[in-house]
A and B are shown apart, each in its own frame.
Chain A
C-alpha cells in the first residue's frame, strides 16, 4: 500500500474526469509525489540525527528538536497528498453506484438470458457525462480538494512561521541550561524544496479552481440552452394562438356582414 497503489486507484477514476482533472492528476503525481519520494525524503532523512545543539546536556537536543519540529515537513506533505487524492474516490463510488443501477435496470428490462455479455461490457466501460447528480459529486470533490490543499498549506505556514528554514534556532526548554544555540541540518536545501512543494501545491489549487469554473460555466450554458429552447417554443405557440384569433375574427365579420346584407336586401325589396 504505497503511492503506486494509490495512483492505480486514482487512474481508474481519471476516465471520468475533465481534461483539467487529468492534468491535475499528472501534476500531483509527477511534481509532488515523485519529488517527495525521490528527493525530499533524503533531504529530511537526517533531520534529527544532524540537528546539533551547543550543549552536552543529555536530553536537551531531543527536547529542542521536538519544540521546533512538532510535525516534520515530510509527514505533513504525505498527509496532504493522501487527503487531497481521496475526494476523487467519492466520484469513483458514485460512478460505480450508477453503473450498478444501470446494469440492474438493463437486466430487469431485458432479462438476464436475453442480454448479451458484450452489451454489459460496453455498459461497464462507457464514460458517464458529468451532468446531474454526478456534477454535484464532482464539484463537491473539487471543493474538498481545495479545502485540504489550503488547509495543509496554512498549517505548514503556521507551524513553521513561514516557508523559510533558518540556520539557527535558540532553545531554552528544560533540561537545557540557559539559552542554547541549535543548528538545523541542510536549511537552504530544505527551503528550496519547501518552496518547490508550495509552488506545486499552488499550481494544483489553480487547476482545481479553473476546473470548478469550467464545470460551473458548462452547467450554466446547459441551463441557458434548455430555457432558450423553451422560450422559443412558447413564442411560437403564442403566434399560432394570435393567428387563430385573427382567423376567427374574420369569420365573425363575414358572418355579420352576410346577415346585415340579407336583412338590408329584405328591406330594400
Chain B
C-alpha cells in the first residue's frame, strides 16, 4: 500500500511540476520580467508596456485565440476528394495569424531585456566597487554596508551614457521587429482582409475547387485591431526615441 501511495504521490508531483513548468513560461512570466526592467524606462516606455499587455497580449489570449480556434476544422472545400482540404488550407495559411502575433509579441518584448541586462551589469560593478571601498575604509560611514547595497539595488539609474545607447538600440530593435512582422503578415495574407472564398487547384484537388474560410469578417476585425495596436506601439517607440535624442542633444 505505501508503495502504491508513494507511486501516486510521485506521479502527482510530476504532473504538478509539468504544469508549473508549462505555466512558468507564459505571458504572465514575460510580464513579470518586463515589469522589472520597466522601472528604468521613460514614461513613454511605461505607457508602451501597458498598451502592449492590455491591448495586444490580453486581447490575443482572451478573444483572438477563440476566433482562430476552428480555423482548420471549419475550413470547408466543395469537394469530397480526401486530402484536398488539408492541402488547400496549408497553401492559404502557411503560418496562422495567431502564431505570427505570438512571435511578434515575444520578439518585440525581448529588447527590453537588453536594458535589464545592462542595468544588472552596472549594479554588479557598483556593488563590487562599494564592497572594495568599504573593506578599505573599514565601515566609516554611518549606514552599514548592507543598507547601502540595498539602496544600490533599489535605485533608478538615469538614462545617460552607455545606458542611453543600450536603451536607444533596444528601441530601434523594437521598431524593426514590429515593422518586420507587420510587413510579413501583409505579404503572406495579401493585405489585412480575410476573404470568404479562396479558389484552390493544388494536387490532389480535381480542377479548381471553392474553399470557404471560417469566420472571415470576425478575423478581419481582429486583424485590423491588432495592426492598429501595433502601429500605436510603433508611434510610441518613435516618440520615445525622439525624446531620448532630444534629451541627449540638450545635454
Contacts and interface: CB of A to CB of B under 8 A. Distances in A.
B78 interface: yes
B47 interface: yes
Given A5-B31, A58-B78, A86 B54 contact: yes
Size range of the chain A interface in the assembly: 20 to 34
Given A1-B27, A82-B55, A93-B47, A62 B66 contact: no
A62 B214 contact: yes
B197 interface: yes
A217 to B, nearest CB: 32
Given A48-B70, A75-B63, A93-B47, A1 B58 contact: yes
- Could you say which of A41, A48, A66, A70 has the most chain B C-beta atoms within 10 Å of its C-beta? A66
B28 A5 contact: yes
Contact of B54 (A41, A48, A57, A82): A82
B59 A78 contact: yes
> Which of A9, A49, A79 neighbours the largest number of chain B CB atoms within 10 Å of its CB?
A79
Given A5-B28, A59-B76, A62-B74, A82 B59 contact: yes
Contacts of B46: 93
B247 interface: no
Given A58-B77, A61-B76, A75-B67, A48 B214 contact: yes
Contacts of A58: 76-79, 210, 212
A71 interface: yes
B109 to A, nearest CB: 11
A199 B54 CA distance: 25
B163 to A, nearest CB: 19
A67 B77 CA distance: 18
Contacts of A3: 62
A69 B214 CA distance: 11
Nearest to A76: B63
Interface of A is mostly: helix
Interface string A25-66: 000000000000000010000001100000001110111011
A63 B212 contact: yes
Interface in A68-112: 69-72, 74-75, 78-79, 82, 86, 89, 93, 97
A9 B47 CA distance: 14
Contacts of A9: 54
B42 interface: no
Given A1-B28, A58-B212, A59-B212, A74 B61 contact: no
A16 B8 CA distance: 49
B201 interface: no
Interface string B182-224: 0000000000000011000000000000111111111001100
A175 B212 CA distance: 10
A78 to B, nearest CB: 4
A89 B218 CA distance: 28
Contacts of B53: 1, 5
A179 to B, nearest CB: 18
Contacts of B27: 1
A6 interface: yes
Given A6-B54, A70-B217, A175-B78, 10 more contacts: A49-B74, A69-B215, A70-B218, A70-B221, A75-B67, A78-B63, A82-B54, A82-B55, A82-B59, A175-B212
Interface of A: 1-3, 5-6, 9, 41, 48-49, 57-59, 61-63, 65-66, 69-72, 74-75, 78-79, 82, 86, 89, 93, 97, 175
13 contacts: A3-B62, A5-B31, A49-B74, A58-B77, A70-B218, A75-B218, A82-B62, A89-B50, A89-B54, A93-B43, A93-B46, A93-B47, A175-B212
